[in-house]
Chains A and B, each alone.
Chain A
Amino acid sequence: AQSVAQPEDQVNVAEGNPLTVKCTYSVSGNPYLFWYVQYPNRGLQFLLKYITGDNLVKGSYGFEAEFNKSQTSFHLKKPSALVSDSALYFCAVRASNYQLIWGAGTKLIIKP
Protein backbone atom coordinates (compact mmCIF):
# COMPACT_ATOMS: atom_id res chain seq x y z
CA ALA A 1 0.00 0.00 0.00
CA GLN A 2 1.15 3.52 -0.73
CA SER A 3 1.66 5.66 2.35
CA VAL A 4 3.59 8.42 4.06
CA ALA A 5 4.44 8.41 7.75
CA GLN A 6 5.56 11.31 9.90
CA PRO A 7 6.30 9.51 13.16
CA GLU A 8 6.47 12.60 15.37
CA ASP A 9 3.39 14.69 16.06
CA GLN A 10 5.58 17.43 17.51
CA VAL A 11 9.26 18.31 17.53
CA ASN A 12 10.72 20.79 20.00
CA VAL A 13 14.07 22.45 19.28
CA ALA A 14 15.95 25.30 20.90
CA GLU A 15 16.72 28.27 18.68
CA GLY A 16 20.11 27.93 17.05
CA ASN A 17 20.17 24.15 17.29
CA PRO A 18 19.87 21.86 14.26
CA LEU A 19 16.45 20.44 13.54
CA THR A 20 15.19 17.28 11.85
CA VAL A 21 11.62 16.44 10.92
CA LYS A 22 11.22 12.81 9.91
CA CYS A 23 9.33 11.29 6.98
CA THR A 24 9.20 7.75 5.65
CA TYR A 25 7.27 6.57 2.64
CA SER A 26 6.04 3.48 0.86
CA VAL A 27 5.47 3.61 -2.90
CA SER A 28 6.48 1.44 -5.80
CA GLY A 29 9.00 2.69 -8.30
CA ASN A 30 11.05 5.85 -8.01
CA PRO A 31 9.49 8.26 -5.54
CA TYR A 32 8.70 11.92 -6.09
CA LEU A 33 8.93 13.47 -2.61
CA PHE A 34 7.87 16.86 -1.31
CA TRP A 35 7.89 18.98 1.82
CA TYR A 36 5.36 21.73 2.48
CA VAL A 37 5.05 24.13 5.42
CA GLN A 38 1.91 25.64 6.91
CA TYR A 39 2.20 28.73 9.08
CA PRO A 40 -0.72 29.59 11.40
CA ASN A 41 -3.78 30.79 9.48
CA ARG A 42 -1.91 30.51 6.20
CA GLY A 43 -2.03 28.18 3.24
CA LEU A 44 0.54 25.48 2.67
CA GLN A 45 3.74 26.60 0.98
CA PHE A 46 6.11 24.46 -1.06
CA LEU A 47 9.56 24.02 0.55
CA LEU A 48 11.44 21.53 -1.60
CA LYS A 49 11.20 18.37 -3.67
CA TYR A 50 13.22 15.34 -4.67
CA ILE A 51 12.66 13.90 -8.13
CA THR A 52 16.03 12.52 -9.14
CA GLY A 53 19.72 13.29 -8.79
CA ASP A 54 21.60 14.37 -5.68
CA ASN A 55 20.18 12.82 -2.52
CA LEU A 56 20.51 16.12 -0.65
CA VAL A 57 18.11 18.74 -1.93
CA LYS A 58 18.02 22.35 -0.85
CA GLY A 59 14.90 24.43 -0.55
CA SER A 60 13.42 27.63 0.76
CA TYR A 61 14.27 29.34 4.07
CA GLY A 62 17.52 27.38 4.50
CA PHE A 63 15.84 23.98 4.68
CA GLU A 64 17.23 20.87 3.08
CA ALA A 65 16.15 17.24 2.90
CA GLU A 66 18.00 14.01 2.49
CA PHE A 67 16.61 11.19 0.37
CA ASN A 68 17.61 7.74 1.58
CA LYS A 69 16.39 5.00 -0.73
CA SER A 70 17.42 2.07 1.45
CA GLN A 71 15.60 3.49 4.46
CA THR A 72 12.74 4.89 2.35
CA SER A 73 13.11 8.18 4.18
CA PHE A 74 13.10 11.85 3.27
CA HIS A 75 13.94 13.76 6.45
CA LEU A 76 13.76 17.55 6.53
CA LYS A 77 16.71 19.34 8.12
CA LYS A 78 18.02 22.77 8.96
CA PRO A 79 21.44 23.47 10.52
CA SER A 80 20.29 26.29 12.80
CA ALA A 81 16.65 26.72 13.80
CA LEU A 82 14.88 30.07 14.02
CA VAL A 83 11.82 30.88 16.13
CA SER A 84 10.11 31.85 12.87
CA ASP A 85 10.49 28.24 11.66
CA SER A 86 7.73 27.22 14.09
CA ALA A 87 4.96 25.81 11.91
CA LEU A 88 3.30 22.63 10.71
CA TYR A 89 5.34 20.59 8.24
CA PHE A 90 3.88 18.09 5.78
CA CYS A 91 5.67 15.42 3.79
CA ALA A 92 4.08 14.09 0.59
CA VAL A 93 4.84 11.49 -2.06
CA ARG A 94 3.48 11.00 -5.55
CA ALA A 95 1.16 8.02 -5.78
CA SER A 96 0.64 5.72 -8.75
CA ASN A 97 -2.40 7.77 -9.82
CA TYR A 98 -0.17 10.86 -10.09
CA GLN A 99 -1.73 12.55 -7.07
CA LEU A 100 -0.04 13.27 -3.75
CA ILE A 101 -0.29 11.16 -0.62
CA TRP A 102 0.27 13.28 2.47
CA GLY A 103 1.61 12.64 5.91
CA ALA A 104 -0.35 13.78 8.97
CA GLY A 105 2.01 16.66 9.62
CA THR A 106 4.58 17.45 12.31
CA LYS A 107 4.29 20.52 14.50
CA LEU A 108 7.69 22.14 14.88
CA ILE A 109 8.18 24.37 17.90
CA ILE A 110 11.35 26.43 18.16
CA LYS A 111 11.95 27.85 21.64
CA PRO A 112 14.00 31.03 22.15
Chain B
Amino acid sequence: EADIYQTPRYLVIGTGKKITLECSQTMGHDKMYWYQQDPGMELHLIHYSYGVNSTEKGDLSSESTVSRIRTEHFPLTLESARPSHTSQYLCASSEYGLGLGGTGELFFGEGSRLTVL
Protein backbone atom coordinates (compact mmCIF):
# COMPACT_ATOMS: atom_id res chain seq x y z
CA GLU B 1 0.00 0.00 0.00
CA ALA B 2 1.46 3.34 -1.09
CA ASP B 3 1.83 6.07 1.53
CA ILE B 4 0.61 8.94 -0.58
CA TYR B 5 -2.58 10.79 0.23
CA GLN B 6 -4.79 13.17 -1.66
CA THR B 7 -7.53 15.40 -0.31
CA PRO B 8 -10.28 16.02 -1.07
CA ARG B 9 -11.27 12.84 -2.90
CA TYR B 10 -14.28 14.57 -4.41
CA LEU B 11 -15.00 18.28 -4.82
CA VAL B 12 -17.90 20.07 -6.49
CA ILE B 13 -17.53 23.85 -6.71
CA GLY B 14 -18.84 26.81 -8.64
CA THR B 15 -17.07 28.72 -11.38
CA GLY B 16 -14.58 31.32 -10.21
CA LYS B 17 -13.73 29.69 -6.90
CA LYS B 18 -10.15 29.16 -5.79
CA ILE B 19 -9.30 25.56 -4.93
CA THR B 20 -6.28 23.71 -3.62
CA LEU B 21 -5.82 19.99 -4.03
CA GLU B 22 -3.57 18.54 -1.36
CA CYS B 23 -1.02 15.78 -1.83
CA SER B 24 1.25 14.36 0.85
CA GLN B 25 3.61 11.42 0.95
CA THR B 26 5.43 9.83 3.85
CA MET B 27 8.04 7.92 1.85
CA GLY B 28 10.60 10.73 1.70
CA HIS B 29 10.54 10.78 -2.09
CA ASP B 30 12.16 13.76 -3.76
CA LYS B 31 10.19 13.45 -6.98
CA MET B 32 6.49 14.27 -7.14
CA TYR B 33 4.06 14.66 -10.00
CA TRP B 34 0.55 15.84 -10.85
CA TYR B 35 -1.35 14.14 -13.65
CA GLN B 36 -4.74 14.89 -15.17
CA GLN B 37 -6.89 11.89 -16.06
CA ASP B 38 -10.11 11.94 -18.07
CA PRO B 39 -12.17 8.80 -18.84
CA GLY B 40 -10.84 6.86 -21.81
CA MET B 41 -7.87 9.16 -22.17
CA GLU B 42 -4.17 9.05 -21.47
CA LEU B 43 -2.76 10.45 -18.26
CA HIS B 44 -1.26 13.86 -18.92
CA LEU B 45 1.55 15.31 -16.82
CA ILE B 46 0.73 18.85 -15.72
CA HIS B 47 3.40 19.56 -13.08
CA TYR B 48 6.38 17.87 -11.50
CA SER B 49 9.01 18.55 -8.87
CA TYR B 50 12.39 16.99 -8.26
CA GLY B 51 12.82 18.46 -4.81
CA VAL B 52 12.08 21.33 -2.46
CA ASN B 53 11.73 24.68 -4.24
CA SER B 54 11.87 22.95 -7.63
CA THR B 55 8.76 22.85 -9.85
CA GLU B 56 8.30 22.41 -13.58
CA LYS B 57 5.37 22.45 -15.98
CA GLY B 58 4.53 19.21 -17.70
CA ASP B 59 3.45 18.40 -21.21
CA LEU B 60 -0.16 19.47 -20.80
CA SER B 61 -0.77 23.18 -20.54
CA SER B 62 -2.55 23.93 -17.31
CA GLU B 63 -3.78 27.04 -15.55
CA SER B 64 -2.96 25.47 -12.22
CA THR B 65 0.09 26.22 -10.10
CA VAL B 66 2.05 24.11 -7.64
CA SER B 67 4.49 24.66 -4.81
CA ARG B 68 7.05 22.46 -3.05
CA ILE B 69 8.04 23.99 0.25
CA ARG B 70 8.38 20.66 2.06
CA THR B 71 9.53 17.32 0.67
CA GLU B 72 6.34 15.56 1.70
CA HIS B 73 3.85 18.11 0.44
CA PHE B 74 2.97 19.08 -3.17
CA PRO B 75 -0.30 21.04 -3.38
CA LEU B 76 -1.95 22.09 -6.64
CA THR B 77 -3.93 25.33 -6.83
CA LEU B 78 -6.47 26.70 -9.27
CA GLU B 79 -6.98 30.43 -8.71
CA SER B 80 -10.29 30.60 -10.57
CA ALA B 81 -11.94 27.31 -11.43
CA ARG B 82 -13.83 26.86 -14.70
CA PRO B 83 -15.96 23.98 -16.04
CA SER B 84 -13.06 23.04 -18.35
CA HIS B 85 -11.08 22.14 -15.22
CA THR B 86 -13.49 19.32 -14.44
CA SER B 87 -11.34 16.21 -14.32
CA GLN B 88 -9.58 13.74 -12.07
CA TYR B 89 -6.22 14.85 -10.72
CA LEU B 90 -3.68 12.23 -9.70
CA CYS B 91 -0.67 12.87 -7.52
CA ALA B 92 2.33 10.55 -7.63
CA SER B 93 5.81 10.27 -6.18
CA SER B 94 8.94 8.30 -6.92
CA GLU B 95 12.26 7.66 -5.25
CA TYR B 96 14.15 7.46 -8.51
CA GLY B 97 13.40 9.30 -11.72
CA LEU B 98 13.68 8.05 -15.25
CA GLY B 99 16.77 9.96 -16.27
CA LEU B 100 20.43 8.92 -16.27
CA GLY B 101 19.68 5.24 -15.83
CA GLY B 102 16.92 5.70 -13.30
CA THR B 103 14.08 3.23 -13.54
CA GLY B 104 11.82 4.53 -10.86
CA GLU B 105 8.28 3.36 -10.48
CA LEU B 106 5.58 5.80 -9.51
CA PHE B 107 3.41 5.56 -6.40
CA PHE B 108 -0.02 7.12 -6.90
CA GLY B 109 -2.59 8.60 -4.58
CA GLU B 110 -6.25 7.70 -5.00
CA GLY B 111 -7.01 10.88 -6.93
CA SER B 112 -9.09 14.02 -6.50
CA ARG B 113 -12.16 14.21 -8.69
CA LEU B 114 -13.03 17.85 -9.36
CA THR B 115 -16.33 19.04 -10.81
CA VAL B 116 -16.74 22.72 -11.63
CA LEU B 117 -20.29 23.86 -12.25
Contact = CB atoms under 8 A, between A and B. Distances in A.
A41 B103 CA distance: 27
A98 B99 contact: yes
Contact of B108 (A9, A32, A34, A45): A45
Given A44-B108, A49-B105, A98-B98, A103 B42 contact: yes
Interface string B47-86: 0100000000011000000000000000000000000000
Interface string B35-52: 000001111110010000
A100 B98 CA distance: 8
Interface string A84-110: 000000101010001111111100000
A60 B109 CA distance: 19
B11 interface: no
Contacts of A45: 2, 108
Nearest to A105: B40
Contacts, number: 56
A45 B4 CA distance: 12
Given A32-B98, A43-B4, A104-B41, A99 B108 contact: no
Nearest to B103: A51
A21 B48 CA distance: 29
B98 A42 contact: no
Contacts of A94: 98
Contacts of B40: 9, 104-105
Contacts of B108: 36, 43-45
A47 to B, nearest CB: 9
A4 B42 contact: yes
A99 B107 CA distance: 14
A34 B105 contact: yes
B109 A49 contact: no
A92 B4 CA distance: 21
Contacts of B97: 98
Contact of A99 (B2, B90, B98, B111): B98
